[in-house]
Amino acid sequence: MRNAETPSDSTPVAPSTALPALVLAALGVVFGDLATSPLYAMQEAFGVHGVRPTPANVIGVVSLAFWALVGAVSLKYVLLVMRAHNKGEGGIMALLALARSSLMRHPRRRNWVVMAGLAGAALFFGDSVITPAVSVLSAVEGVEVAAPGLAPWVLPTSVAIVLGLFALQRFGSARVGAVFGPVMLAWLVAIGLLGFFAMLRQPRVLVAVNPLHAWEFFQRNGFAGFTTLGATVLVLTGAEALYADMGHFGARPIRVAWTAIALPCLLLSYFGQGAVLLLDPSASMRPFYRTVPQWGLFPMIALATAATVIASQAVISGAYSMIRACIQLGYLPRMRVMHTSSRVRGQIHLPLVSGLLLLLVLAAMLGFRTSAALAAAFGIAVSGTMLATTVLVIVVMRRVWRWSWGVVVPLGAAMLAVDLAFFAANLMKIASGGWFPILLGVVALVVMTTWRRGRELLAQRNRSDSLPLGPCMQSLREHPPTRVPGTALFLTNDADYAPQALLHNLKHNRVLHERNVLLTVVILDEPHVPPDERVRIDSQGDDFHRICARFGFAESPDVPGALEACGGHGLHFDLMQTTFFTSREDVISGDRTGMARWRDHLFAYLTRNALPATSFFRIPDNRLIEIGRRVAI
């Protein structure tokens, strides 16, 4: 319903006794995307949009990869961004909620921050489409090295794997989650060992640790070196997951898993690929699989496929969580949310989103056909999301943590310079595929901003057509209607005004129940609400009560559960004696100037197809009366 903002400063703590298990689980859920980047990142750096694989360029690109992982992941995300949690929850929507709650007194700045966060969320949705497509394709393309005659089967096999992956979504990943960690650990160890042995054949690649080689790479290649940043950013795909999945594991297991396992193995893989390229520049077509001995190609392809399926599942689950947060925070219409695990928090499935993602992933695979073509589109989604995260973190550093300008300005400028460079380099690829995530992001952003603005206009119209609650209560006292047994509960967005359902009930039925309750569901800018703070009750006299049911953006609103919690405050409900009243608006485009006419029609379409509030809030259908009315905005 409406939103409220509450700052948060609690810190997630992982029990030390569970640390090894949490580290292993984090490897399977958090690092899938980052861990499979070696399949395509180096290939793209020396592909159509990259540079020639000369020894100097190879060392320069490996140096860029090394410092990108150390700087952007280890320093930015692991050390800094993961501090910006919202009561233990991470992700761009949790960060947006934290940042916007700190700007309550600055509406203009707040709107700009919201737009930055929504743009990042929209691009993350594009990332969720491209990741399964590029990851699975890049893994299966290994057969072109092992058995070139099987090349025509790469695309059909990849499509079949994706169809199987999405067919399993309704069961959730809890049942197979136990194997995610061990498989990803095996993958990381394997690519680390392959890289190590390849590096032994050409140890000169180790000089790439010196950042001067990255600087000289830009000096030597000029504009071509700058555009190669668009490929280098691919080593960072999945960095956002370290932050987004923090609520599932806590910060410490993720940091341990990254520092002790993921980072060393990834660096060994990139250095190993660099060593192979120093020995044979023609390996630039499939540098990862050229680190694999001939006898190990098919087992490695199988392991890579399993790893990319895990990476795809992780990003799909991340999309579910992000979209649910968007719904709860009021940026997307309500839709059906299925909980696929009774034990694991956050295991959800959104059927509508799953179907949409499947169609878009298949469209990307069939349209681009190869991982190299998709990689050109991948970078914009990744770098755009990282840029939005940086903007929000800068706000948090200043407004929430109260860091001095002397710290915020240089640190923020450094992060923005890197992210803007990555983003600008990827903009060079718009014509060759970069348009795809931009198109997805623009459509998602338009939908989110239209829904948000439409809800604001609808609330304004409802207030203009309603009576303030005070005068309405006074009128009822002066002219008391007939009372009938039972409890009437009216759902309302604004408890300061008499609900339309209440007014229509009085107008047409000319009766009032013995007890009347105005219920407002409030979604807070924090992930979870303690049970003892779930409800707030304000008695108005004459058996009128106002209840505010409060939920976090990572929770599923449960009105019957909230009413049960009212018993602890002395207000008891018998659902069999309670009738729920709600208004259902038929929105049409009017002559008002709140939005463009086409956005009015889009909002009306979204409203008609949104899940009814009663279903979303788990209100029993057999206790519900809906009163419809037509509203022009």
Which domains, ranges and CATH numbers included, belong to the chain?
19-453 (1.20.1740.10), 466-632 (no CATH)
Q: What is the mean pLDDT of residues 484-512?
A: 85
The whole-model pTM stands at 0.83
Which helix (H) or strand (E) segment holds residue 535: the answer is: strand 535-541
Cα angle: 527, vertex 533, 534; to 5 degrees: 75
Residue 438 in tokens? 């931009």
Amino acid letter at 354?
S
Sequence-distant (6+) residues with CB within 8 A of 414 are none
- Band (13; pLDDT cuts 50, 70, 90): very low
Mean model confidence pLDDT for the chain: 85
Q: What is the dihedral of CA 15, 20, 21, 27, to 10 degrees?
A: 120
Distance of alpha carbon 491 from alpha carbon 209, whole angstroms? 61
CB atoms under 10 Å from CB of 230, counted, come to: 29
- Residue 191 near residue 265 (C-beta atoms within 8 A): yes
The more confident residue out of 171 and 34 is: 34
- Band (4; pLDDT cuts 50, 70, 90): very low
Distance of alpha carbon 519 from alpha carbon 513, whole angstroms? 15
Distance of alpha carbon 502 from alpha carbon 23, whole angstroms? 53
- The closest alpha carbon to 313, from 351, 359, 349, belongs to 349
pLDDT one-digit tens code per residue, 81-117: 988 888 778 888 888 888 888 887 888 888 898 899 9
pLDDT one-digit tens code per residue, 247-278: 777 788 889 999 999 999 999 999 999 999 99
pLDDT value of residue 172: 62
pLDDT one-digit tens code per residue, 184-230: 999 999 999 999 999 999 999 999 999 999 999 999 988 888 888 88
DSSP 3-state percent helix, strand, coil across the chain (nearest 5):
65, 10, 20
Cα angle: 21, vertex 27, 28; to 5 degrees: 95
Given a cut of 70, whether residue 614 has pLDDT beyond it is yes
pLDDT one-digit tens code per residue, 571-588: 888 888 898 988 877 777
- Residue 573 near residue 487 (C-beta atoms within 8 A): yes
Q: What is the mean pLDDT of residues 8-24?
A: 58
Query: For residue 265, how many C-alpha atoms fall within 13 Å in the half-sphere facing its CB?
Result: 22
